């Protein structure tokens, strides 16, 4: 039984053109919780997908300011993690968890 905490760390895989390009470098992109740290992400990915992680880079994409009927709103920030896997390991993002 894997630790349930891991599921809170990883929100979803990010499937975009850019992430498809990254997958050629054996990297996988995830949307992760805003508070998640690199070691947490590494632990989570290793536990949930059964792979070896060699590196984690993170970034926070700031939410945009949106106006709806004159009211100013703000989209929430999203933290992304670009996880580099050890040679030979893969994650089939399409199959899900």
Instruction: Kindly list the residues in this chain that would bind another protein in the complex (CB under 8 A).
Output: 14-17, 19-20, 94
Question: What distance in Å separates the CA atoms of residue 87 and residue 17, rounded to the nearest whole number?
Answer: 22
Q: How far is the CB of 20 from another protein (least distance, A)?
A: 5
Nearer to another protein, 4 or 94 (CB): 94
Q: How far is the CB of 39 from another protein (least distance, A)?
A: 28
Q: How far is the CB of 67 from another protein (least distance, A)?
A: 21
Question: What distance in Å separates the CA atoms of residue 69 and residue 79, rounded to the nearest whole number?
Answer: 28
How far the first Cα of the chain sits from its last, in Å, is: 14
């Amino acid at each position: 039984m894997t630790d349930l905490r891991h599921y809170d760390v990883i929100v979803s895989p990010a499937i975009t053109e850019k992430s498809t390009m990254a997958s050629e470098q054996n990297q996988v992109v995830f949307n992760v919780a805003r508070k998640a740290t690199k070691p947490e992400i590494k632990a989570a990915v290793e536990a949930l997908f059964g792979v070896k992680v060699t590196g984690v880079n993170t970034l926070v994409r700031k939410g945009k300011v949106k106006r709806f009927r004159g009211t100013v709103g703000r989209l929430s920030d999203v933290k992304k993690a670009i996880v580099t896997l050890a040679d030979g390991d893969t994650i089939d993002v399409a199959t899900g968890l």
